[in-house]
């Protein structure tokens, strides 16, 4: 167990260094969320048409139009509309759908049961693949398979994710019949094996494209570690290559990759719109597309604000992990950074 001196040092670091940074970073998170709320609200209102149109037929009378506008609140001044929406959000209420009258929060919760596992499973598989590909491509850069892996990462960045999905469907669903081509079980996760089979191809699709991009950063970070003085010093001190790389290289090389991981995780969630369309999954992506087609502003705002929260919190967590991993960032936490 850590001694009293180590515990005191850790407590001092948390109070004097990390706590002020956490407070500043939390304040920045709140400001970013408020700016995002304003941007989402204003940009939606700049679109042509009125939110009340979602409730009206083509031959609606002036009285029906007025009643619909009063129902959705679009007859009020924009500042008043924003204040009402912000007040709902502070209470954890995302409002009700204009079309189905169902609570937006409940609908998003159901859709998250598809989108969140899809995002996390894809990210986990892509992380494993990118570490294997990136480290191997850097360590074995003089071998033919190292060159092939580097070429894969370059090629994969240029390949559209929907194209990969279509190819995988053609091979594994249509030709081989091993996996379903799309859809998700009506009973959701009551049968986990069936649900995972439905997500298999979407997960592999995202993981292939993401690992191609992420492995480039892993390879670059690994090459920096291989050429570093501390690794040569460790090896000169008697450590083997693998031991020196694991003990000294992983921690230093992971710092720039952590920031990229945060971006990639956020991109995975946002990219679910395309992937869910290819595989007809009933996640947040399909909910957003349907809401846009129906001009259901409540659902659009709900999906966008939840997605924004996810992206902001992922970036927040990535910043914290970076400072816990890298001692150089710890010493600058209380400075100007």
Q: Is 103 helix (H, G, I), strand (E, B) or coil?
A: strand
Whether this model's pTM surpasses 0.75: yes
d(CA 317, CA 155): 30
72-122 pLDDT tens trace: 777 788 888 888 888 888 888 888 888 888 888 888 888 888 888 898 898
pLDDT of res. 335: 47
pLDDT of res. 334: 47
216-233 pLDDT tens trace: 888 877 777 766 666 666
pLDDT of res. 228: 66
Of 149 and 39, the one with more pLDDT: 39
pLDDT beyond 60 at 64: yes
Using CA atoms, how far residue 25 sits from 16, 276, 320, in Å, is 15, 33, 9
Q: Is 140 helix (H, G, I), strand (E, B) or coil?
A: coil
pLDDT beyond 50 at 337: no
pLDDT of res. 98: 80
d(CA 115, CA 17): 36
Of 193 and 2, the one with more pLDDT: 193
What is the phi-psi region of residue 145: left when phi exceeds 0, alpha when psi lies from -120 to 50, beta otherwise? alpha
13-22, 31-40, 277-286, 288-297: lowest mean pLDDT where?
Answer: 13-22
Using CA atoms, how far residue 154 sits from 137, 168, 219, in Å, is 12, 20, 12
d(CA 44, CA 48): 9
Q: Which helix (H) or strand (E) holds 332?
A: none
CB of 319 within 8 A of CB of 1?
A: no
CB of 276 within 8 A of CB of 115?
A: yes
pLDDT band at 31, cuts 50/70/90? very high
pLDDT band at 333, cuts 50/70/90? very low
Right CATH for 104-327 from 1.10.3720.10, 3.10.20.30, 3.20.20.60, 1.20.1050.10: 1.10.3720.10
177-190 pLDDT tens trace: 888 888 888 777 88
Which of 3-7, 155-159, 287-291 is predicted most confidently? 287-291
What is the phi-psi region of residue 272: left when phi exceeds 0, alpha when psi lies from -120 to 50, beta otherwise? alpha
Residue 114's closest CA among 286, 326, 312, 328? 286
| Sign of the alpha-carbon torsion through 228, 234, 240, 243 | negative
20-24, 46-50, 328-332: lowest mean pLDDT where?
Answer: 328-332
d(CA 150, CA 177): 32
d(CA 45, CA 301): 11
d(CA 174, CA 166): 10
pLDDT beyond 60 at 127: yes
Q: What share of the chain is helix, strand, coil (3-state, %, to 5)?
A: 80, 0, 20
**Whole-angstrom distance between the N-terminal and C-terminal Cα of the chain?**
33
């Amino acid at each position: 167990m850590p001694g009293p001196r180590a515990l005191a040092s850790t407590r001092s670091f948390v109070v004097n260094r990390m706590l002020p940074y956490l407070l500043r970073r939390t304040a920045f998170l709140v400001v970013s969320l408020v700016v995002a709320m304003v941007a989402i609200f204003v940009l939606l209102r700049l679109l042509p048409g009125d939110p009340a149109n979602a409730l009206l037929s083509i031959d609606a009378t002036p009285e029906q139009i007025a009643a619909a506008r009063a129902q959705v609140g679009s007859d009020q001044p924009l500042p008043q509309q924003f204040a009402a929406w912000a007040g709902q959000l502070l209470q954890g209420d995302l409002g009700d759908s204009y079309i189905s009258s169902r609570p937006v929060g409940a609908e998003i919760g159901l859709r998250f049961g598809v989108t969140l596992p899809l995002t996390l499973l894809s990210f986990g598989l892509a992380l494993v693949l990118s570490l294997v590909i990136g480290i191997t491509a850097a360590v074995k850069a003089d071998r033919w398979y190292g060159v092939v892996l580097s070429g894969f990462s370059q090629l994969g960045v240029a390949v559209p994710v929907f194209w990969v999905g279509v190819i995988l469907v053609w091979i594994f669903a249509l030709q081989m019949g091993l996996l379903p081509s799309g859809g998700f079980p009506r009973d959701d996760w009551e049968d986990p094996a069936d649900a995972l089979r439905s997500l298999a191809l979407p997960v592999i699709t995202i993981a292939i494209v993401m690992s191609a991009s992420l492995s480039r950063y892993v390879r670059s970070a690994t090459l920096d570690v291989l050429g570093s003085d501390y690794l040569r010093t460790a090896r000169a001190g008697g450590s083997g290559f693998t031991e020196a790389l694991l003990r000294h290289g992983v921690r230093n090389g992971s710092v720039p990759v952590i920031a990229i991981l945060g971006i990639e995780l956020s991109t995975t969630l946002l990219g679910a719109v395309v992937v869910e369309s290819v595989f007809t999954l009933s996640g947040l992506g399909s909910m957003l597309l349907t809401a846009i087609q129906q001009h259901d502003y409540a659902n659009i705002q709900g999906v966008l604000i939840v997605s924004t929260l996810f992206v902001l919190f992922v970036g927040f967590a990535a910043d914290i992990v970076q400072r816990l991993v890298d001692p150089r960032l710890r010493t600058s936490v209380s400075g100007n950074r």
